[in-house]
Amino acid sequence: MTTPDDDEPTGVWVSAAGPRFEVIRHEAGYRMYVYMFRRGGAPSAERDFATIGQIAKAITNLEQQGYQFDPGREPDSDRTVKENVARQWRSPKHLIGAGILFLVILVCGIVLVVD
């Protein structure tokens, strides 16, 4: 397991062609977030670990798959997936997109019923 401080396995692990994994300290132990893109975006999954041994095993598995610790990056956030999804839907561009999608589905439904 590669970390700047072997006592605190927190940070960011990246791969050239894969998702980004971030590990933060959490009140119940450690939390790992999975991001589908290397830069930006909302986490697509999260998992809690109660002990250092559990998180160390998960990090070791990542490193065996080719992921490398990125010492220049700090974890983005400790928001939950649910909080990120709720935050995305509050933005006007997402609401406009949802409204347009609703109208397209409504029109397609009407066309199918009329035919």
37-78 pLDDT, tens per residue? 766 677 888 899 999 899 999 999 999 998 988 887 777 665
Bridge partners (DSSP) of residue 40 are none
Task: Tell me how far apart the alpha carbons of residues 23 and 47 are, in angstroms, rounded to a whole number.
Answer: 10
Q: Which residue has the higher pLDDT, 74 or 16?
A: 16
**Backbone φ, ψ for residue 102 (5° rounding):** -60, -45
Q: Are residues 56 and 9 in the same domain?
A: yes
Q: Residue 97: inside a domain, yes or no?
A: yes
pLDDT band at 12 (very low <50, low <70, confident <90, very high): confident
pLDDT of residue 73: 73
Q: Which residue has the higher pLDDT, 32 or 92?
A: 32
Considering its fold, how many domains does the chain have in total? 2
3-class secondary structure, 64: helix
SS3 content of the chain, % helix, strand, coil (to 5): 40, 20, 40
Q: Are residues 32 and 59 in the same domain?
A: yes
Q: Are residues 14 and 62 in the same domain?
A: yes
Domain range holding 94? Answer: 90-115
Q: Residue 83: inside a domain, yes or no?
A: no
Q: Residue 84: inside a domain, yes or no?
A: no
Alpha-carbon distances, residue 44 vs 19, 95, 99, 104, 108 (angstroms): 10, 20, 24, 27, 30
Q: Are residues 44 and 73 in the same domain?
A: yes
pLDDT of residue 38: 63
Task: Tell me how far apart the alpha carbons of residues 68 and 64 are, in angstroms, rounded to a whole number.
Answer: 9
- Positive or negative: CA dihedral 102, 90, 78, 82: negative
Whole-prediction pTM value?
A: 0.60
